[in-house]
Structure 1
Amino acid sequence: MDGETRTTAKSPPRGPVVVLGASNLIAGCLLPRLAAAGVETVAVARRDVALPPGVGFARVDFEAETDWRVPPGAAVVSVLPLALLAASLDRLAGARAIVAIGSTSLHSKAESDDPRDRATAEKLARAEAALAEWCGRRGVAWTVLRPTLVYDGYGDRNVARMIRLVRRARVLPIARPSSGLRQPIHVDDIAEAILGALDEPRARDRAFDIAGGEVITYRAMAERVFASQGLTPRFVVLPVPWLRFAFACAARAGIVRETGFGSAVFARMNQDLVFDVAEGLEVLGYAPRPFQPPRWAPVTPRRRRP
């Protein structure tokens, strides 16, 4: 199913639809769906992006001063960072509805030992509250979708990074026993959930946690990544404190450049990051696939020394 856009039985939303953050991976799946359904669509991004035929484009940098305003009566889909959307809401006056992407990090990082994680959760909570308050004052329908671990296997910060690491090093460091549960969700399934939220009365003024179609341990997820690349799973299994120390030393020595590892990331390998998504499945009507990372170009076996 990788690289394919699946169809949904739900009627297409009425236009126009404005997609903010059109260079995002989720938008890359959503825009072809909207175009195929014949929905009048405008993609908004701060740089040029490849677009399906018939999709309009507006170059807008939401972090800079701009006179751009959303067309009156449009439905807005935002895959911008939620805090950036919250700071830009006055540009959306006149929209009939806003569907925004948040994150289950709102829940999972709220009690983290890492202050950066807690700050992330607090930032998401403030942004959601600001969106709900602004839309409530203006009578604009809003929906927030909070995906779990997001992947496409090529450009994401989760599975794609793991793929690059196992292809380069042929080994993956994990925390013993890496039994924490995950629900990886493919970006195209998020796009399907977005379509399910547009013009859906039951989704109005609500937030939904959304997830993939399979619950899997962190270790099993990593094993599947190895298998997808035609490699035998090989792990360096260490206690969490040792992993933190090893990565800190490797980063100082310039051996690794993985910038996404905070102090709590290894501990989370043994935490269950699963969420009740039954309501979203029923209301939004999306059908998420089980976890299957994509196969990149064939891996060239290492030559053995004579």
Structure 2
Amino acid sequence: MRVLVAGASGFVGSRLCPALAEAGHEVLAMTRHPAKYRGTGEPVRGDVADIGSLRDAFKTVEAAYYLVHSLDSADFQRRDADAARGFARAAAEAGVRRIVYLGGLGDDADSLSEHLASRREVERLLAETGVPVTVLRAGIVIGHGGTSWELTRQLVEHLPAMITPRWVGTRTQPIALADVVRYLAAVLEHPETEARTFDLGGPEVLTYRDMLQRLAAIEGRLLVIVPVPLLSPRLSSYWLSLVTDIDATTGRALIESMGNEVVVRDDAIRRIVEFEPMGYDDAVLQALGERAKQRRAK
């Protein structure tokens, strides 16, 4: 199948392109700078903010992956909505048979954060032109280079003790990056996943406190966590920007989302794409190993 990947150079896309190629698909890696692309697949110019470039990128494409987000912008909701509209319109005009989107977990009955509400809006906008959309919703993805993972790792490695908001007690269901990629690549082989939404998660439900403390134990560090009742997302984001390399805008969006429980409510995907997802500790070791490998290569 001829497949376009929007976000081919990103955290997930850079791992998905090789997996799709290995599965026998012809991969088109959409990028704003094709001459600089060094990953798997044929680089094609495309910018989600430029529908003309999208029309060119979509020529002869059968399926498309949408892995684009704008968390580092204060107006990320508007930017993501505009980009999704343009992508969906160009896909429909080109006769694309399916879009696959990686969204975020979260119960719609909750008051979702701006970040998670934006993910839901993108799901809706991608589908509004009639192209069938397969949505895979994940929570924290554990893998080298992921923003949420980097936030976790840097907090543990930079601070022996931390004062945190009450979100440390929120439940989440982290999943290894390798398993997210496996699900993303596999849905193309299963027609029954078309126009459906699936929850993705690893085998364990953990609080953010559990995640921080288990990472500390794996790295042989002592970590003291003191939750406090009053610490606003804005103040927390400034604190994060001081002790990690996550910018305050992105940090605030992520922290607001940490108030929402992100766990799997329906594991239907496990009965379609059958394998045993990696546990949290193994996912952490894999992420740390990949980071060490890249640091040695520099």
TM-score by length of structure 2 reads 0.76
Q: Are 2:240 and 1:248 aligned? A: no
- In structure 1, C-alpha distance between the alignment counterparts of 2:51 and 2:159, rounded to whole Å: 44
TM-score by length of structure 1 reads 0.75
1:166-185 equivalence runs, <5 A = 166-175=156-165, 178-185=168-175
SS at match of 2:184: helix
Selected match of 2:265 from 262, 265, 276:
276
Question: What is the deviation of 1:73?
Answer: 4.7
Alpha carbons of 1:141 and 1:63: their partners in 2 closer, same or farther (altered >3 Å)? same
Identity %: 24
1:21-40 equivalence runs, <5 A = 21-40=7-26
- Count matched residues: 265
Contact 1:189 1:286 in 2 (8 A): no
Structure 2 residues not aligned, in runs of 5+ = 70-79, 293-298
Question: What is the deviation of 1:266?
Answer: 7.7
Q: Are 2:126 and 1:123 aligned? A: no
Question: What is the deviation of 1:233?
Answer: 2.3
| Counterpart AA for 1:99 | V
- In structure 1, C-alpha distance between the alignment counterparts of 2:115 and 2:257, rounded to whole Å: 17
Alpha carbons of 1:239 and 1:286: their partners in 2 closer, same or farther (altered >3 Å)? same
- In structure 2, C-alpha distance between the alignment counterparts of 1:123 and 1:261, rounded to whole Å: 16
Aligned to 1:205: 195
Specify the structure having the higher radius of gyration (Cα): 1
- In structure 2, C-alpha distance between the alignment counterparts of 1:66 and 1:223, rounded to whole Å: 48
Question: What is the deviation of 1:30?
Answer: 1.1
- In structure 1, C-alpha distance between the alignment counterparts of 2:44 and 2:64, rounded to whole Å: 14
Aligned to 2:30: 44
| Counterpart AA for 2:277 | P
- In structure 2, C-alpha distance between the alignment counterparts of 1:248 and 1:211, rounded to whole Å: 30
- In structure 2, C-alpha distance between the alignment counterparts of 1:179 and 1:160, rounded to whole Å: 19
Aligned to 2:129: 134
Aligned to 1:100: 101
Question: What is the deviation of 1:90?
Answer: 2.2
Question: What is the deviation of 1:98?
Answer: 1.2
| Counterpart AA for 2:101 | A
Structure 1 residues not aligned, in runs of 5+ = 1-14, 298-306
Q: CA RMSD in A?
A: 3.0
SS at match of 1:214: coil
Q: Which moved more, 1:280-289 or 1:28-37?
A: 280-289
Aligned to 2:220: 230
SS at match of 1:76: strand
| Counterpart AA for 1:70 | F
- In structure 2, C-alpha distance between the alignment counterparts of 1:90 and 1:266, rounded to whole Å: 31
Aligned to 2:296: none
Question: What is the deviation of 1:79?
Answer: 1.0
- In structure 1, C-alpha distance between the alignment counterparts of 2:26 and 2:257, rounded to whole Å: 46
Runs of 4+ in 1 over 6 A off after TM superposition: none
Alpha carbons of 1:279 and 1:127: their partners in 2 closer, same or farther (altered >3 Å)? same
SS at match of 1:158: helix
Question: What is the deviation of 1:143?
Answer: 0.6
- In structure 2, C-alpha distance between the alignment counterparts of 1:158 and 1:33, rounded to whole Å: 23
Deviations 1:111-132 (A, max 9, x none): 15xxxx2x43443333222222
Which of the two has greater helix per residue?
A: 2
Deviations 1:117-166 (A, max 9, x none): 2x43443333222222312xxxx4321111111221x3112121121122
